[in-house]
Amino acid sequence: MYNHDKITSPYLWDFNMAEIIPFRGILYNKNKVSIGEVLSPPYDIITQEYREELYKRSPYNIVRIDFGKEFLNDNEGNNKYIRAKKFLEDWLEKGIFIRDDKPLFYAYGISYKIDGEVKNLMGFLALVKLEDFGGGKIHPHECTYSKPKQDRLNLLRICEANTSPIFSLYKSSEEDISSILLKVTMRKPLFEVRDSVGAIHRLWRITEEIDLEKIKKEIRAKDIFIADGHHRYETSLEFQKEMRMKKQSTSGVVSGDEPFDYIMMFLANMLDNDITILPTHRMLKKVPSDVIERLSKHFDIETVHLDIEITKKMSGRKCVFGFYQNKDDRWYLLKCKKDSLDKIHPSLNRIDVFVLHDLILKNILDISDVDYEMDPKGVLARVKNGEYAGAFFLNPTRVEDVEKAAVFSVRMPPKSTYFYPKLLTGIVINSFKMNNPVLVG
C-alpha cells in the first residue's frame, strides 16, 4: 500500500524564488582543437570501450577530466581526480581552454531525429543557486545511488568545477526567453558538432544585458525540475555543506553567495514539444511459475504473436505493459483493471512506472532484483537465451509525469526516465575559482 502520508501538497510550498545568474564560461578554443574530437557524452553512459576511444580521439578530450582512467599504481597523491585537476589547469595555461571575459548565459540547441521525426531541443546554460530538496523551487523526480555520488564528490572536491550541466526543466507560457533564444540562434553558432547518435549540438553566447535580465526575471517565479543529473546535484549539495563548514571554521562568515552555492544547469521549457523521454525496460532473473495467473487478477491479458512488436502494440496507451517470459511463443499485453490501482496514490496511479514497480513488482510478484535495458529487441534476445526469466516492457514516462512526481515530492524508481539526446560534457565549464556570484549576480 502506498504511504499517502509522505506525499506533500504542492499548495503548502513556500513561494520563494529560483535564482539564476550568468557566468564566465570556460570553452574549448576551436583554433587549437577540433570541437568534435574533445567533447563526450555524460560519464554515466560511457562504457570502458568507448572511454578508450575517446582517449585516443584527442589528448584534450574532456573524458580525461570528467571520467578519467584508474591505474594500478594510483595513490592519494596521484589518481584520476588529481590528474583531472592538472589537465584542467594545464589546458587553461596552454590556451586549449579559454574563459569568457564577462558573465553570460549560453543558448544551447540540439537538432535530432526520433522515429523519423526531426526535433529541435532549445534551452540555455546558467548558474542556478542550490537549494535543499523539499521546500524550495528545485525538485528531483528520481532515486539515486551512493557510489556514483561518491565519485562525483571526489571530482568536485579536487577540481572545483562543473564540467557538465544538469539537465533541468521549467514551465513557462511567457515569451521572453523563447524570443531571446530565437533571436540569438539566428546568428552563426560558436560551434556545431555532431554526436555519436547523429544529433547536432550548437552553442551561442547571450550577451546583451537586457536579455540577461529578462531571462532571470522569467525564471524567478518558476519551479525547476531536475530531468537528468540527480547524482551531480546531490553531490553539489554535499560539497556545499563541506565548504560552508570549512569556511565557517576559518573565517566564521558564510555569505550564501559563494561559488559553491551555485551549479551549472541547462534549462529547457517543458512546454516545448521537442523534449523526448525514452523508456527503459525491466528484466527479471526469476519469475513465479504462476506469474500469468497472478497478473490476471489485476490485468486484462491479451496474447500477442511474437512477430508483432510489443512496444508498437502498447504505444500511446496508459497503464498498459508488455510481458514476455523465457520459452513462451507469445507476448502478453497487460491492461490494468481500474480497481487494481487503489494501492497507489490516486495522483500517481496513472504514471506507468509507479504501477509497474508498486503494483506488479512489489505487490503482485514480490520481486526487487531488476536489471534494465532500453533496446526492446535486446531484452527479447536476453530472455530467449535464458539470461533472464522474463521482462516487462513499458511506454516512456511523459514530461508531465516527471512534473507530477516532483510536485508531490515522490521519487520515481531508478531508470524511470531517459532524456534523449544527452547533453555534451565539456560544452561549457564552470570553474568555482573563476566565477564569484557576488561580482556577477
Show the 3-state SS of 384-434: HCCCCCEEEECCCCCHHHHHHHHHCCCCECCCCCEEECCCCECCCEEEHHH
CA-to-CA dists, residue 14 to 127, 135, 263, 416, angstroms: 22, 7, 22, 28
Q: How far apart are the first and last CA of the chain?
A: 47
Looking at residue 3, its pLDDT comes to 40
CA-to-CA dists, residue 23 to 26, 261, 431, 433, angstroms: 9, 13, 9, 12
Looking at residue 16, its pLDDT comes to 64
Looking at residue 292, its pLDDT comes to 95
Q: What secondary structure letter does DSSP report for 198?
A: S
CA-to-CA dists, residue 276 to 63, 67, 88, 114, 381, angstroms: 25, 26, 33, 8, 26
Calculate the CA 228 to chain-centre distance: 1
Inter-residue contact 394 to 401 (CB < 8 Å): no
Q: Helix (H, G, I), strand (E, B), or coil: what is residue 300?
A: strand
Q: Which residue has 517543458 as its cell numbers? A: 270
Q: How far apart are CA 441 and CA 433, in angstroms?
A: 15
Q: How far apart are CA 98 and CA 229, in angstroms?
A: 25
Q: 0.85 cut: is pTM over it? A: yes
Ordered structural domains, the chain, with CATH: 4-276+421-440 (no CATH), 280-395 (3.30.1760)
Q: Is 35 exposed, middle or buried (0-12, 13-18, 19+ CB in 10 A)?
A: buried
**Which residue ranges of the chain lie beneath pLDDT 70?**
1-16, 144-146, 434-441
Looking at residue 437, its pLDDT comes to 58
Secondary structure (DSSP) of 315-358? TT-TTEEEEEETT-SEEEEEEE-GGGGGGS-TTTTTSHHHIIII
Looking at residue 10, its pLDDT comes to 37
Amino acid at residue number 391: A
Looking at residue 149, its pLDDT comes to 86
Inter-residue contact 424 to 201 (CB < 8 Å): yes
